[in-house]
Amino acid sequence: MLSVWDPLVVEPDLRAVVGAFTDAGADFVLIGGFAVIAHEVLRTTEDCDLLIPDDATNDAAVFSAVRSLTATPQDGQPLSLELITQRESLRLSSDTSGMLDLLRGGLPPLDFASVKATAIEGTLGELNFSIAGLPSLVAFKRLAGRAQDHADLEKLEQIHGPLPQV
């Protein structure tokens, strides 16, 4: 349970994460809990999940964004550009913006290019960014298969009707 009185708990700060990635010029698509929220499901989330392309130029921008958030890998390894380029997934923690999960590349139909091509546009003030479209989001949730993912799928179906088969 999240206690609003616990100074060690930092809720995910979507504005900070999107701002850092946008300022760094990093390409990404928002997936996970915040994407579920964008598709009209009222719920909380513990982290920001981003799908990033498997691209050397973008890696440098992602590294810059992550450094600006003062994020560190959960596994205790030092943050480096090489760590970002060599991991399919990377869980990071920031004292100022909360937990951040990076998912790199992917396989069709959940590869970066496919997910980005069907993404919807999100805005936070002057920030514009991509959010996984419903078909991609549903596919990610089915693939993960955790209890929260099943609950998200049920709520998405209540709101949007029969969910797409990918």
Q: Label the pairing between strands 127-131 and 29-31.
A: parallel
Q: Which residues contact 63 (CB under 8 A, 6 or more apart)?
A: 79, 80, 81, 84
What is the reported pTM?
Answer: 0.92
Strands 89-94 and 71-73: antiparallel
pLDDT one-digit tens code per residue, 15-53: 999 999 999 999 999 999 999 999 999 999 999 999 999
Structural domains in the chain, sorted by start: 14-160 (3.30.460.40)
